[in-house]
Amino acid sequence: MELFGWPLETIYFYGLVISGVITILYLFFGDFLEGVMEGIPFINPTLLFSFVTIFSAGGYLGEIFTPLHSGLIASFSAIIALILVTLLNVFVLIPLSNAEESLVYKESDLRGRIGTVITGIPVDGYGEVLIENVSGRISKPAVSFTKNEIAYGKKVLVIDVENGVLQVKVYEELENYI
């Protein structure tokens, strides 16, 4: 079958090659394109290029290897591309975008957090504190804010962070004051 005077195999092949080239260019210039596409939030270039690539590859292979009607091949190819792109979005892209945001922290975010001493903190020296949160554990060097020795296993409150070193004091729970 022909479309606009071109065999469908050729159209599918050109679509495959062009979408592959655009995908490679997107790897290099993706940040610029994301800035341009920010005004159109419902179009994701990664999903669009993936759909065109899978659709073109399925159509090309279907035209070459099967005796089916071209309309049926295009329909099957579109359905398969839609399913694979949906799976890519749900199981790869969305979790990656959420993980990227949740693992980032600033040292200033550690102020006010409660941690556990895993290496005792001497009066004028360094120890180590482990802070647990939803995305994992953070182990940082620490000094005593009040210049008191803090033993292993004690709960501490992070008062400040200077040059990557936590300044901590022993955590006194509120129930001690009631």
Q: What is the pLDDT of residues 116-130, one digit of tens each?
A: 999 999 988 999 999
**Sequence ranges of the domains in the chain:** 2-102, 107-171
**Mean pLDDT over all residues of the chain?**
84
**Is 107-171 a CATH 2.40.50.140 domain?**
yes
Look at residues 156, 69, 159, 35 and name the one whose alpha carbon lies nearest to residue 108: 159
Q: Does the model's pTM come out above 0.85? A: no
pLDDT per position as a tens digit, 145-175: 998 999 999 999 999 998 889 999 998 876 5
**Rounded to whole angstroms, how far apart are CA atoms 41 and 27?**
19
Question: Residue 16 corresponds to which tokens in the numbers above?
Answer: 């495959």
Mean per-residue pLDDT, 39-50: 77
Backbone phi, psi, residue 107, to 5°: -60, -30
Q: What are phi and psi of 161, to 5 degrees?
A: -130, 125
